[in-house]
Every structure is written in structure tokens, then in C-alpha cells.
Structure 1
Amino acid sequence: MSEGLRERKKRQTRERIQATAMRLFVERGFDKVTIAEVAAAAEVSVNTLYNYFEAKEDLVLPPDQASPQRLADIVRERGPADSPARAVLSRLRDELRDHDPKLGLTEGFGAVFEMMRNAPTLTARLEDLGRQMTDALAVLLTEETGAEPDDPEPLVVAGQIGWFHSLVFAEIGRRVTAGRSPDSIATDMLRLLDVVEEQLGARAFTYAVRDAREEHPCSE
């Protein structure tokens, strides 16, 4: 379905607001820029800005792009004979090879990462987001495996997956700040994931393998 005129204008307005905010935040620091200043620079009212972004932090980490359901969604969409850990590992490898912007593999992201690292409310949100991703994945694994509510195995497996997912983002940030190129960072992270796969071992990658006879949830 093609995008209508109204939807296109709304998307363009949202993108303009976010791009303007990111420019100001990088130039002056997240905590030193007000919502009113962002709205004025983007040529919209404060009320209009809040129609698109409920909180100042959403301008940097929009809920639709930084979703607590990211890991659960990847696992939920995995194919037949695939395990949760394998699905997340494969997705990260694909995103690294594609230099997916959500991983920060773009030129100039170093300044953005530095801005985020210097804003306590943003670092707190990132930490909370990581916990929410792991918690949501643990709930899904408990449901899929039929484990008892107090069974620690789904939580432990979710924690392992959440750990290597977070590790990739942390290491990308460290290298971006050091001025490394997206190509070299992607190469390093692919190598890191190879080590993760070797170290976690077969048990982690054979837990909750989807039955090959099970209908894929996205095939309907």
C-alpha cells in the first residue's frame, strides 16, 4: 500500500523534528537543549512536537526504533529448526554485514554516541531498555517451552542472549568513539560473534529449537 499525502507529510515532519533535535544535541549537549528550542529550530509548535515524541529522550531513542521487544520479536520470527540464540546471532551478523544504521555503523555516529554517553537520562534509558529486552525474551521462552513460572532456565538463556546482544552494541560504541571506520568495526564484531558462538557452546544454541513441523508464525 502506497503512502498517502497526509502520511508522507507526517513522516517528513517527524523526520525533520528528529534530525533537528539530533543536530542540536550533538552541537550543544542533550541536557543543554530544551524542547522549546528544538521545536523552534524545526519550525513547529511545542504541542506539535509532543504529538510526535512524548518525551525528550524519545527524540534520540524513539520507541518504534529502540523497542523492548526487539529480542523477543527476532526469536518469535525464527524459522523451523532454529533456536533463539541462533536467531539473534544470525540477525546481528546480517545487520553487521549490511552496516545497519540501528547498530551505529554510519559515518559520524561517534559524535552521536559521545552525546548519548554524556547524558545520564539517555544512558539510564539504554540500560533499562536492555533489561526490558531480556525480560520480554524470558517471558516468551517460558511460554514457548511450557516452563514453570519459577523455572530459571528461560531466564538464564534470555540473559545469555541479552548479554551478547548488549556486548555488540557496547563494543561498537567503544570503537566508534575511538574513530574506527564502520567497515573495520563490522569486521571486528563479526569476529566477536564467532568467539561468542564458540564460548557459549552447543547447549545455548540448541535450547528451544523450533520444531521443523511447526508452522512459521509469519507464513499466514
Structure 2
Amino acid sequence: MTTEPEGPELSLRQRKKQETRRRISDAASALFLERGFDNVTVVETAKAADVSTMTVFNYFPRKEDLFLDRIPEAIELFTGAVRDRRDDETPLTALRRVTLELIDRGHPLTVAQERFLPFWRVVGDSPALRARGREALEELETALAATIAETTDGGAHDVRPRLTAALAVAAYRTVATNSLARLVAGAPEHTVLKDHRALVHRTFDALERALPEAT
């Protein structure tokens, strides 16, 4: 997976970097899914991708990011929605909109699809990946808080951007975890996905009631 923009405006160098990043990520994911994250080395990943170990680290400074390679994309999607929101949108409105758009697109970040279960099983089996996932949520929360602060009228000591970001990220994680647990337990995907979307709406409704001044 690549997080760089695609299109004719990309230079040849950018396209090559994008292709290399994708090849490394795909090779790593295939090995991790087959053998488990903790049973695969970066050296083996480099060999499978036909690159040097140094090249792997140039694109992915941490082994965990080889598998959790959508972290930068997630941060950009959610902060971008807030930063570039319409004039009639609040930060929470923009976050609700982008979350629902991801669900409608069947994006991996929505979690609630059976085809992503093998990925989440690898994460669940690896303490290192679970720890990196928690760090990623903290990174998202920090980036969201900064973006909300930059695009609203609060002062330097206004707690509302941090509170809004913290509650939004916690809500997103809770809804995703609930839907994933239901899929693992064998609930039909179409039912889980329908309930997932409805729960996103109810959750943002609750956030807007709880944070009227921050919305």
C-alpha cells in the first residue's frame, strides 16, 4: 500500500519510489500472513522483495510498519477531512463524513469486512503489532488535536481540540473493535456492516451532544 498521491503529476522518480514501497509492503504482508509477524525477519522480507535490507528500512523505519503500513494514510485521511472541511462543516461533522465514506468504499480502515480477518488475526497474535497499533492511535489523536486547534478559534490553552480528538479516536476504536469481534464470532458480514454504519452515526450523535461547543 502506498500513501503517496497517484496521478499524472507524479514524476518518474516518485512513481518508482511508490512501486518499490508497494513491492516491499506486499512481500512483507504475504510472509506475515503465511508465517506470523514474529516469525519473519526484515532480511527475509528484503530478499522476497528483491531489495536490500537498507532499502526496506529507508521506506519502513520499523518492522511493525511493514504490516501496519496504512498508519500515515489514516492520519492524512482524518486530519485532511478536518483541515479541508466545507464552510458548513464542524470538525466532528467532517470526521463523521469521512468515516462513512470509508465504509461505503469498503476501505480496510473500516475493519468490518471478512476479507480483513486474516490481517487482524496476525495483529492479534503479535504483541509488537498491538503495541504499534496503540501508538498509531495516539499519533492520530495528536495530529487531529493539532489540526482542530489550527482550524478553530480557541486559544493556546483551549482543551476542546484535544478533548474532541481523544473522544473521536476512542469512539472510532470502540466501534471498530466491536464490529471486528462480531465478525470473528461468526456474525454475517452484511449484518455487521449495516450495524457498523448505524453505530458510527449514533456514536457521532452522542459526541455532538457531549461536545456542543467543540462541534
1:56-71 alignment, distance < 5 Å? 56-62=63-69, 63-67=71-75, 69-71=76-78
The answer to which structure, 1 or 2, has the higher relative contact order (CA under 8 A, 6+ apart) is 1
Question: Which residue of structure 1 aligns with residue 207 of structure 2?
Answer: 200
Aligned with residue 102 of structure 1, among 102, 109, 127 = 109
Question: Which residue of structure 1 aligns with residue 24 of structure 2?
Answer: 17
Separation in structure 2 between the aligned mates of residue 30 and residue 155 of structure 1, nearest angstrom: 33
Question: Which residue of structure 2 aligns with residue 44 of structure 1?
Answer: 51
Unaligned runs of 5+ residues in structure 2 are 1-6
Distance 1:55 1:164, change over 3 A: same
1:64-103 alignment, distance < 5 Å? 64-67=72-75, 69-103=76-110
Separation in structure 1 between the aligned mates of residue 119 and residue 54 of structure 2, nearest angstrom: 26
TM-score (norm 1): 0.80
1:113 counterpart = 2:120:
yes
Shift of 1:121: 1.8
Residue 64 of structure 1 aligns with an amino acid whose one-letter code is P
Separation in structure 2 between the aligned mates of residue 50 and residue 197 of structure 1, nearest angstrom: 38
Distance 1:176 1:19, change over 3 A: farther
Max radius of gyration: which structure?
Answer: 1
Separation in structure 2 between the aligned mates of residue 137 and residue 4 of structure 1, nearest angstrom: 30
Question: Which residue of structure 1 aligns with residue 4 of structure 2?
Answer: none
1:176-187 alignment, distance < 5 Å? 176-180=183-187, 182-187=189-194
Separation in structure 2 between the aligned mates of residue 176 and residue 40 of structure 1, nearest angstrom: 34
1:165 counterpart = 2:167:
no
Shift of 1:116: 0.8
Shift of 1:86: 1.1
Structure 1 SS opposite 2:151: helix
Separation in structure 2 between the aligned mates of residue 194 and residue 145 of structure 1, nearest angstrom: 23
Of all paired residues, the percent bearing the same amino acid is 30
Corresponding pairs, count:
207
Distance 1:14 1:195, change over 3 A: same
Residues 127-177 of structure 1 show CA distances to partners (whole Å, capped at 9, x for unaligned) of: 122122222222333333332333323322222222222223323432343
Distance 1:99 1:48, change over 3 A: same
Residue 180 of structure 2 aligns with an amino acid whose one-letter code is G
Structure 2 SS opposite 1:147: coil
Structure 1 SS opposite 2:61: coil
Separation in structure 2 between the aligned mates of residue 171 and residue 43 of structure 1, nearest angstrom: 39
Separation in structure 2 between the aligned mates of residue 22 and residue 159 of structure 1, nearest angstrom: 30
Distance 1:128 1:43, change over 3 A: same
Could you tell me whether the CA contact under 8 Å between 1:85 and 1:204 is conserved in 2?
no
Distance 1:66 1:191, change over 3 A: closer
Separation in structure 2 between the aligned mates of residue 131 and residue 5 of structure 1, nearest angstrom: 34
Distance 1:103 1:35, change over 3 A: same
Shift of 1:35: 0.5
